[in-house]
Structure 1
Amino acid sequence: MATEFKNVFFPTDFSKNAQIALPIAAEIAWRTDSKLILFHASQSAMDFAPNFEEAKEEAIKKAEADFESLIDDLKKDERFAGLEIVTILQSGHPTVGLMEKSKKYDSGIIVMGTKGATGDRNVIFGSTASSIINRSSIPVLAIPSSSKFDDFNHITFTTDYHEGDLEAMKQTVTFAKLFDSEIKVMHVAEEESLLSDIKFRGFRELVKEDVDYDKISFVIKYDYDFFPVMADYLIDNPETLLIMVRHKKTFWEKLVERDHSKEMAFYSRVPLLVLMGRSVQL
């Protein structure tokens, strides 16, 4: 991610979740002097209805009106009055269309609203947001409807010291500089040991040597299960932006391990920015 990217891509279904996330997408576009791309894809029973053309025309008119309403509300904020906004409306599967259009429009980040903590994993992992996080080749910022946006003053970057995490840390700093954010780098180790201490200190020194930013602190926590540690942390820090790095996993690892980035996108009540690790090939 860089401050020079041309477009901020925002998919919307015109729901309350999307409405809450839209000002954040606009804020990023405004701070990076980027275009804001609003995208809506419809896939419904109307595609197979006897009066297909009539239903399609009605759906298009409604979506266009919804777009106009979103833009009018957004531009009530004088900062966004001059923001360049492009709307894209198409029929078909939302995930497929979103992936195609975000690449076509040279997007640097996808910002989208999510339901947040619902407690229903079956609903969670079948959602469009989960699919985008799993498939996207560019950063995805998921905004839960219950999150508390504070201009991203506080960022938590999680690391397992994978190949590419240092580069992701640099991307995190690029984002943090937009908001003058404080960054906390967190690692969850299975147990306290000399090896875990060496890794922690080593990564800390690499960051200090290679990253030019003075608002970074480091913390290590110990537990065999990453998720409950992070869940407790987020309860105590509800106004943080959580940043995770998605790495490619083998088929076996996908079966026996949780995919933390997808899980956190829905169980957390804070915004989640998922960066692509070096090992992800899409």
Structure 2
Amino acid sequence: MADIKNILFPTDFSENTREALTFALEIARACDGKLHIMHSIEEPYNFTMPDETAKNTEVNRSLSQTVKKLFENLEDEILGDSKYKELNIETSIQTGRAVYTILEETKTRNVDMIIMGAQGRTGLKEVLFGSTTAEVIQRSNVPVLVLPHEAVYKDFNRITFATDYQDGDLKALQFVVELAKLFNSKLIVYHSILKTDLKSEIMFRGFKELVTEKISYKNIEFEEDKSTHFLEAAINKVEQQNVSLLVMVHYEKSFPPLPKQQSKEMSHYSEVPLLVLPGKELANTKR
């Protein structure tokens, strides 16, 4: 799972996704991968009125022409930058609900990572508590990198990997290390605990020793803090250490691992990119 050769970037051509595109371009350039840029046209289906169906078909055709022109302009802009002129870029237009077309493209194009901009200006709060992005995270079997509205590209010089010592976390960390190598990042493996006791100490030391044995990366540190809420503790750590990327693994059908009623206001964390890895798929992968 460590190789990133095919990247999918869904776009609605908004200013938000345009800024997120910079992240996709830079990662594709760093890993020498192919970048697939897609747009979904959500069709207004009507099965009762033939004349309305014909009208919808015409509207859809017109929209497709508009999107093709937008793609042409976007490709000209990208390839006009000397940094990206050698990139392998493909574009596609799909019809249907965005979540389903994104997931279908992921399978069809053998995608290794989805990179997408979060909707609106509510940053992680929007991503975590209800959006197209959140649904893609829930359903995707590949990593999803989410760029909040205010995110501005900079190298991932400081990455925090939040772990709860689940079965797939070592595989997830191996993926993150490969990403860190691309940018020569400092990698912080972070865990939060309810209380300090022998069991928590054994788990902390055991995971650290296992990582040291299985993963070769010098610029890595391990940290542990007391906290009642895993997610909030991780986000606090991001703020304190000026982290450029927060990485989490999700295992449950629902995401995030924190009920809405227990959440504090998180809009001021909106500049932090979030990479979510699919824990179930990682846990089922043989080591």
Q: Which moved more, 1:90-99 or 1:142-151?
A: 142-151
Where does 1:7-156 land on structure 2 (aligned, <5 Å)? 7-45=6-44, 47-48=45-46, 50=52, 51-115=55-119, 118=122, 125-156=129-160
What's the CA shift for 1:214? 0.1
CA RMSD of superposed structures (Å): 2.8
Structure 1 pair 195–142 and aligned structure 2 pair: CA distance change class (3 A): same
Letter in 2 for 1:258: L
1:222 partner amino acid: K
CA distance in 2, matches of 1:122, 1:180: 30
- Offset at residue 255 of structure 1 (A): 11
Identity level (%): 37
CA offsets 1:116-147 (integer angstroms, 9 cap, x no match): 76289689644110011000001111111212
Q: 2:274 aligns with which of 247, 272, 279?
A: 272
Shift of 1:69: 2.2
Q: CA deviation at 1:179?
A: 0.8
Residue 164 of structure 1 deviates from its aligned partner by 1.6
Checking the alignment, whether the CA contact within 8 Å between 1:42 and 1:92 is kept in structure 2 is yes
Q: Encode CA deviations 1:80-117: one digit per residue, 9 max, x unaligned.
A: 11211111102111111111111111111101011476
Q: Normalising by structure 1, what TM-score? A: 0.87
Tell which deviates more after alignment, 182-191 or 64-73: 64-73
Q: Are 2:160 and 2:245, in contact at CA under 8 Å, matched by a contact in 1? A: yes
Partner SS state of residue 195, structure 2: coil
Verify the 8 A CA contact 1:243 1:273 in the aligned structure 2: yes
Shift of 1:196: 1.2
Please tell me whether the aligned partners of residues 162 and 189 of structure 2 are also in contact (alpha carbons under 8 angstroms): yes
Q: 1:239 Cα shift? A: 4.2
> Which residue, out of 231, 238, 242, partners 2:246?
242
Shift of 1:256: 11
Q: How does 1:247-266 map to 2 (within 5 A)?
A: 247-248=251-252, 258=258
User: For residue 177 of structure 1, what is the aligned residue in structure 2?
Assistant: 181
Structure 2 length as normaliser, TM-score? 0.85
Deviates more, 1:203-212 or 1:50-59: 50-59
Task: Output the amino acid matched with 1:176.
Answer: A
CA distance, structure 2, for counterparts of residue 258 and residue 53 of structure 1? 43
Alpha-carbon spacing, 1:33–1:231, altered in 2? closer, same or farther (3 Å): closer
Contact kept? 1:147, 1:239, Cα under 8 Å: no
Q: Indicate how the Cα distance of structure 1 residues 257 and 139 shifts in structure 2: closer, same or farther if over 3 A, else same.
A: closer
Please say if residues 6 and 106 of structure 1, whose CA atoms lie closer than 8 Å, have aligned partners that are also in contact.
Answer: no
Question: Unaligned regions of 5+ residues in structure 1, if any?
Answer: none
Number of the residue aligned with 1:202: 206
Q: Secondary structure at the match of 2:112?
A: strand
Q: Distance in 2 between matches of 1:257 and 1:7?
A: 28
Q: Given the superposition, is the C-alpha separation of residues 149 and 191 from structure 1 closer, same or farther in structure 2, using an over 3 Å criterion?
A: farther
What is the one-letter code of the residue matched to 2:7? V
Following superposition, the deviation at residue 205 of structure 1 comes to 1.1
Q: Output the CA distance in 2 between the equivalents of 1:131 and 1:160.
A: 22
Gap change, CA 1:37 and 1:259, over 3 Å in 2: farther
Structure 2 distance, partners of 1:122, 1:171, is: 26
Q: Deviations over 1:173-200 (max 9, x none)?
A: 1111111111001001011222211211
Superposed displacement of residue 246, structure 1: 1.5
- Indicate whether 1:215 and 2:214 are aligned: no
Q: Give the count of matched residue pairs.
A: 272
CA contact (8 A) 2:119 2:126 kept: no
Is residue 2:224 matched to residue 1:225?
Answer: no
- How much has 1:76 moved relative to structure 2? 3.0
